[in-house]
Every structure is written in structure tokens, then in C-alpha cells.
């Protein structure tokens, strides 16, 4: 029983690490796109921060995914 729980814990931990790595890569891609776009359009030095924009886009997309999964699992709106 103890080995089974240990195996389940290792599998869940590896899934969590993989999911966090995937989210980090997606965030860096969004940040890179916005950073390149802001430099191309010469918005550098203004109040526009590509890092802040990337955080806003990333957090809003995670919220939409969370709401969608919650709706699928529980068939209720948040």
C-alpha cells in the first residue's frame, strides 16, 4: 500500500512539474512576442511594459481556462 501511494505521488508530482514547465514556456513566448512587437513599433520608454502586458494576457487566459474546465466538470457557471 505504501509503495502504491508513493508511486501515485511521484506520477502526480511529475504531471505537476510538466504542467508548470508548459505554462512557463507559454508565458515566455507571449512575453517575447509582446517585447518584440513593442520594440518594432518604438513603444520603448513609454508606459507600455511588455512584461506587464504578458502577465495580464496570461492571467486572463488562465482564468478563462479555469472557468471552462469548472463549467465542464460541474455544469455550473462561476
* pLDDT tens digits for range 15-48: 888 888 888 888 888 877 777 766 666 655 556 6
Q: Is residue 45 part of a domain?
A: yes
* 35 assigned to some structural domain: yes
Note whether residue 17 is domain-resident.
no
Q: Does residue 6 sit within a domain?
A: no
Domain region containing 64: 24-78
Within a domain: residue 56?
yes
How large is the C-alpha radius of gyration of the chain?
A: 18
Select from 47, 54, 69 the least CA-distant residue to 23. Answer: 54
What pTM did the predictor assign?
0.52
What is the 3-state composition of the chain as percent helix, strand, coil, each rounded to the nearest 5?
A: 80, 0, 20
Instruction: Say how many domains are in the chain.
Output: 1
Residue 34, Cβ density class (10 Å: 0-12 exposed, 13-18 middle, ≥19 buried):
buried
Cα(33)–Cα(25) distance, rounded to whole angstroms? 12
Residue 78 has pLDDT above 60, yes or no: no
**Does the residue 1 lie in any domain?**
no
Amino acid at each position: 500500500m505504501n509503495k502504491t501511494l508513493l508511486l501515485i505521488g511521484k506520477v502526480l508530482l511529475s504531471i505537476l512539474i510538466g504542467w508548470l514547465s508548459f505554462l512557463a514556456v507559454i508565458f515566455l513566448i507571449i512575453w517575447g512576442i509582446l517585447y518584440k512587437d513593442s520594440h518594432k513599433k518604438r513603444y520603448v520608454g513609454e508606459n507600455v511594459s511588455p512584461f506587464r502586458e504578458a502577465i495580464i494576457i496570461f492571467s486572463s487566459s488562465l482564468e478563462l481556462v479555469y472557468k471552462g474546465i469548472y463549467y465542464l466538470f460541474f455544469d455550473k457557471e462561476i
